Amino acid sequence: MNTTYIVKRKNIIRIGVLVACMLFTIVYGILIFNACKQREQAWSRQAKAVFLEAVGNELKKLDKMEIYGFHTITSLFQQKTLETDIPDSVVFALQDGTHVYHLPLHRRNNAYFKDGDKNIYLSLILEKYPFPFDSLHYAWDKQLALSDIKGKIGVCSRITDLSRKVSTFASGALEEFAPSDSLVSTYLGYRLEMELSGYISYSWWSLLPGGMVITVVLLWCMYIFFWLFYGRLNQLVSKRTVVVEKIVEKALLPAKSRNKTRHIKARVYRLEHDVFFDAEQRLFCDGNGVIEKLSPAMSVLLEHFLKASDHTLTKYEIYQIMGKDLEEYSLDSFYKMIERFRKKLKQFSSVTLHSDGNGAYRLILPLDPTDMN
């Protein structure tokens, strides 16, 4: 048999097998893409339902605190209402006059309670007890793990006060989420003044259906084996050239440390341009004198944050600083303490406390002009 004919026939067979593998991969790729989209949609629907359920559970805790704390018989979840529509605006009589607050349609459509009486009562509760969105983040993440939903989550709370000023609080690194990762928002209060938003993103690997991917990988492994088998036969009629490519890894430059503690003197720290913290006297001060005196516990916690690397402490370290037992001090009490600490910082400075969603908290100090040199 002619050698040239044999080689041509083998080349045709190899090309035919390659084309078949490519067509099979394209078809399977389309099926895998559709399967990923369906899984993402199903996970998002379930994650949205779990988020709203977690919001309801946190509201029930606040409701019980109101009932037991003030011996009232009123309850958010026991009132019998007619589920009347929320008005498109509400009126408040304040010291400086009457104010009308318009409620946008998207807020009314996504309000957690569709009843005005419940929303009035809820606003009164939220004035006494801050909503524990760190606890909401933990409960949502735990339930998603139990449901085998593999996603990275974040929780954001935006509160509009009577002067229409918006305050934003976040649990989790929201800067890592794209706008398209916003999953669900719900609104609380008589003015629908509190917005709770849940963010979730999925890695492409977590969405892949394992069985279909393994099938494609096995197919290409078989093709590579087939190609190598025919390649060895061609060694008799052609020379093979092996090119060795050298890969040079570029060393990563060390990141510039941003943990710059602003000491003025022993145990005195600059929190921002004109606000100081005297840890020894437990005082917030500005250029005009004393602003506020902190409690011993909050003073100790703030000083440890200022001394910590990158101003970051883990939940376990905070427990140790506060002298609490992990087994006896409940998560609810911990989150309430963190929330009180946040509110105290916000009351007298622009310093904020962020949670990374993994049990660590970081104190964010405003940029000082000396830091830019």
* Of 155, 157, 156, 159, the residue nearest 191 (C-alpha): 159
Q: What is the DSSP letter of 324?
A: -
Give the separation between CA 219 and CA 25, rounded to whole angstroms.
9
Query: Which residues, including other chains, have CB under 8 Å from residue 189's CB and lie 6 or more apart?
Result: 119, 122, 123, 126
Res 260: pLDDT: 46
| Alpha helix positions (H), 115-246 | 116-128, 133-146, 204-207, 210-234
Q: Are the CB atoms for 76 and 118 separated by under 8 Å?
A: yes
Burial profile 242-256: b = 16 or more Cβ within 10 angstroms, e = fewer? eeeeeeeeeeeeeee
Give the separation between CA 138 and CA 345, rounded to whole angstroms.
23
Give Cα separations from 276 to 61, 259, 341, 344 (angstroms): 37, 18, 16, 14
Res 155: pLDDT: 92
The encoded tokens of residue 53 equal 């359920």
The encoded tokens of residue 208 equal 């892949």
Query: Which residues, including other chains, have CB under 8 Å from residue 364's CB and lie 6 or more apart?
Result: 311, 351, 352, 353, 354
Distance of CA 252 to the CA centre of its chain: 28
Give the separation between CA 284 and CA 299, rounded to whole angstroms.
10
Structural domains of the chain, with CATH: 37-204 (no CATH), 263-367 (1.10.10.10)
The encoded tokens of residue 336 equal 């309430």
The reported pTM is: 0.52
Identify the bridge partners of residue 103 per DSSP, sorted by sequence position. none
Count of C-beta atoms within a 10 Å radius of residue 192: 24
Give the separation between CA 335 and CA 8, rounded to whole angstroms.
74
pLDDT in tens, the chain (373 residues): 444 444 456 667 767 777 777 787 787 778 778 888 888 899 999 999 999 999 999 998 888 876 555 445 455 655 555 556 788 888 887 777 888 988 899 999 999 988 888 888 888 888 888 888 889 999 999 999 998 898 899 999 999 988 889 988 888 777 888 888 889 999 998 888 999 999 999 888 777 776 666 776 777 777 676 667 666 655 554 544 333 333 333 333 333 334 444 555 677 888 887 788 888 888 878 777 777 788 888 888 888 888 888 888 888 888 888 877 666 667 778 888 888 888 888 887 888 888 887 888 888 887 654 444 4
Whether the CA torsion 177, 180, 183, 188 is positive or negative: it is positive
Identify the bridge partners of residue 152 per DSSP, sorted by sequence position. 201
Q: Kindly report the three-state secondary structure assignment for every residue of 279-295.
A: CCCCEEEECCEEEEECC
Res 74: pLDDT: 52
Res 216: pLDDT: 66
